[in-house]
Structure 1
């Protein structure tokens, strides 16, 4: 069977919230799929946070203040959601060990977003940015000084009823299109404080993409970026189903 020429773009259910991309896991067993969506204000954490002492109490307290905490399947750290944040996820089936595909799947997602941002004369590079929330090797950042503008994470699932080496890989990007770095960082720090953690994040280690543009382009930027990303998804082919086996380097998250 020939490799597909494009991702099938799925719409997130209206009530899916910040975990909307998990709807991709089932259809991705049959074809490469993608989803672009926005979520209401809140925080999203990996399952490691849910295992912390007092998490249920903190979750209820934050929900009562209008900041629900959702637990996602992918790894990483705490991330805020809300207006001005775009989410993009890709999912497709692979043959072989997840470890052999993890890095190239991250790089594929980052390249797709970088190509879309180049249309706005925003140049990015893949790197960690110490002090940013949910830091990892496959952030997208802008230089001088280095600031994170996209965070990524991924999750893998074996495909029921298929060969044991058949898995779905889902990779997600949180894109800071038009938001307040101080407010987002304060929200993430509030959760760490409430859970008794000593980790703290720095607002000047992230940037809102619209702040990199001329003032007259900023109001319409999130919609313009979403349109550019959708066009990129229509023209950028998914990865091949099977990649050459490579020396595993481990997951970044």
Structure 2
């Protein structure tokens, strides 16, 4: 049997797709692996744990009035920026068994896809934590020495039951139990200082002592010679599309 390929979804014109556009992939992935590329307007996105903090509603209203609306996502992690200079890449597919059995491999799969796309432009990226970066984790993508973050990742898993898709099937007949979604936020052509400043403002507004350093991240276009920067976000988008369609799903 040939390997399953990702079906690349069109979520509509960017950035109109919105900062939570990929969450619809969880339903689309019931019939097989799916992927999407998308961009969103300027703002901040936080996990549900932030929405539960005292003062969140007031901070949300304040940031929105200043052109930085705050959106709440289902996946974990921390506060991240969004904006036209950021490319989002999301993959979703069915898995059998526990999410923990697949989580690391799914992260590695996503990171490998992005790293292969960047290598086409002569940019060598690797998965690692970067101290001081917003939404830090083991499966950031980073470049250079010392390491500077160029992408952050997160996951979301939804349990499904056999009766949702095949009412007559037993658990043995239909062993798939979860849909996994893995997401990367790629800093392509953006103002890292401004993004870091806004993330720190939000942490302060919520009385969280966590702070980030702009020196811990870098916009990918800064890794290129100036003549190559102008159309880079479009060229990287096309390269990511090509890699998604070429790369078999897990």
1:18-39: per-residue Cα shift (whole Å, max 9, x none)?
A: 1010010001011100010110
Shift of 1:165: 5.2
Could you tell me which residue of structure 1 aligns to residue 67 of structure 2? 66
Could you tell me which residue of structure 2 aligns to residue 8 of structure 1? 7
Alignment pair present for 1:108 and 2:119 = no
Count of residue pairs brought into register by the alignment: 238
SS of the residue 1:52 aligns to: coil
SS of the residue 1:171 aligns to: strand
1:73-121: per-residue Cα shift (whole Å, max 9, x none)?
A: 0000000000210000000000111100000000000000000000000
Alignment pair present for 1:175 and 2:186 = yes
Q: Structure 2 CA distance, aligned partners of 1:21 and 1:106?
A: 16
1:24-73: per-residue Cα shift (whole Å, max 9, x none)?
A: 00010111000101100000000000010111111111112211100000
Alignment pair present for 1:228 and 2:211 = no
Q: Structure 1 CA distance, aligned partners of 2:2 and 2:244?
A: 18
Q: Structure 2 CA distance, aligned partners of 1:203 and 1:65?
A: 21
Residues 13 and 20 of structure 1 are in contact (CA less than 8 Å); yes or no, is this contact kept in structure 2? no
Q: Structure 2 CA distance, aligned partners of 1:197 and 1:186?
A: 14
Alignment pair present for 1:80 and 2:81 = yes
Range that drifts further, 54-63 or 122-131 = 54-63
Alignment of 1:51-200 (within 5 A): 51-160=52-161, 161=164, 163=171, 166-200=177-211
Q: Tell me how large the CA RMSD over aligned residues is.
A: 1.3
Alignment pair present for 1:238 and 2:249 = yes
Report the TM-score, using the length of structure 2 for normalisation: 0.92
Residues 155 and 180 of structure 2 are in contact (CA less than 8 Å); yes or no, is this contact kept in structure 1? yes
Q: Structure 1 CA distance, aligned partners of 2:187 and 2:205?
A: 24
Residues 89 and 185 of structure 2 are in contact (CA less than 8 Å); yes or no, is this contact kept in structure 1? yes
Shift of 1:2: 5.1
SS of the residue 2:123 aligns to: coil
SS of the residue 1:9 aligns to: strand
Unaligned runs of 5+ in 1: 240-253
Could you tell me which residue of structure 2 aligns to residue 249 of structure 1? none
Residues 140 and 152 of structure 2 are in contact (CA less than 8 Å); yes or no, is this contact kept in structure 1? yes
Residues 151 and 187 of structure 2 are in contact (CA less than 8 Å); yes or no, is this contact kept in structure 1? yes
Range that drifts further, 158-167 or 128-137 = 158-167
Residues 17 and 38 of structure 2 are in contact (CA less than 8 Å); yes or no, is this contact kept in structure 1? no
Unaligned runs of 5+ in 2: 166-170
Q: Structure 2 CA distance, aligned partners of 1:61 and 1:167?
A: 38
Residues 158 and 165 of structure 1 are in contact (CA less than 8 Å); yes or no, is this contact kept in structure 2? no
